[in-house]
Every structure is written in C-alpha cells, then in structure tokens.
C-alpha cells in the first residue's frame, strides 16, 4: 500500500467498523445474541479482507476481489445459520 493511501484506507476501515457497531448496538438493544462486538469485528475483518483483495489486484494484476466478497457473504451466512 502506498503511504498516500493510508488515510483513505483507515477511513474506510473506520467507517465499516462504525456501521457494524451501529448494527450491533441495534441488535443488543433488542436483546439479540450477536451484538456490538460481533458486528464490529465482522465488519472490520470483512473490510480488511476486501481492501487486501483490491490491493492485490492493483499491485499485481492478479486475483478477483468479487470472489473475496462472495466468500465473505457465504461465511457470514454459514456462521449466522449455525
């Protein structure tokens, strides 16, 4: 990652985490199991994996970031169903 991209990357990860925390707060407020920490961590890790895939494509021209997003959606769906 270029140093110029660091503020943008941190902003994106911060926004993803914040939105995950908002969803988690709403679930905790209504007494559901997965709450603030769970949604915040899932949003942060999903954002990091997606940004890593985008960086891989940008730097090396290889990879498919859409597959990463598809894999994340499947994993989250699998965990939510358990």
Alpha helices, H only, 1-82: 6-29, 36-60, 65-81
Checking phi first, is residue 66 left (phi over 0); if not, alpha (psi -120 to 50) or beta?
Answer: alpha
Q: What is the pLDDT along the chain (82 residues), one digit of tens a residue?
A: 556 788 999 999 999 999 999 999 999 999 888 889 999 999 999 999 888 888 888 888 877 888 888 988 898 888 776 5
Q: How many residues does the chain have?
A: 82
Q: How far apart are CA 25 and CA 6, in angstroms?
A: 28
- Rounded-to-integer distance, Cα 36 and Cα 47, Å: 17
């Amino acid at each position: 990652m270029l140093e110029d991209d660091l503020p943008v990357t941190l902003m994106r990860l911060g926004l993803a985490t914040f939105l995950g925390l908002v969803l988690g707060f709403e679930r905790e407020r209504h007494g559901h199991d997965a709450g603030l920490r769970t949604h915040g961590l899932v949003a942060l890790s999903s954002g990091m994996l997606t940004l890593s895939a985008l960086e891989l494509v940008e730097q090396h021209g290889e990879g498919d970031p859409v597959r990463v997003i598809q894999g994340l959606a499947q994993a989250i769906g699998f965990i939510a169903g358990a």
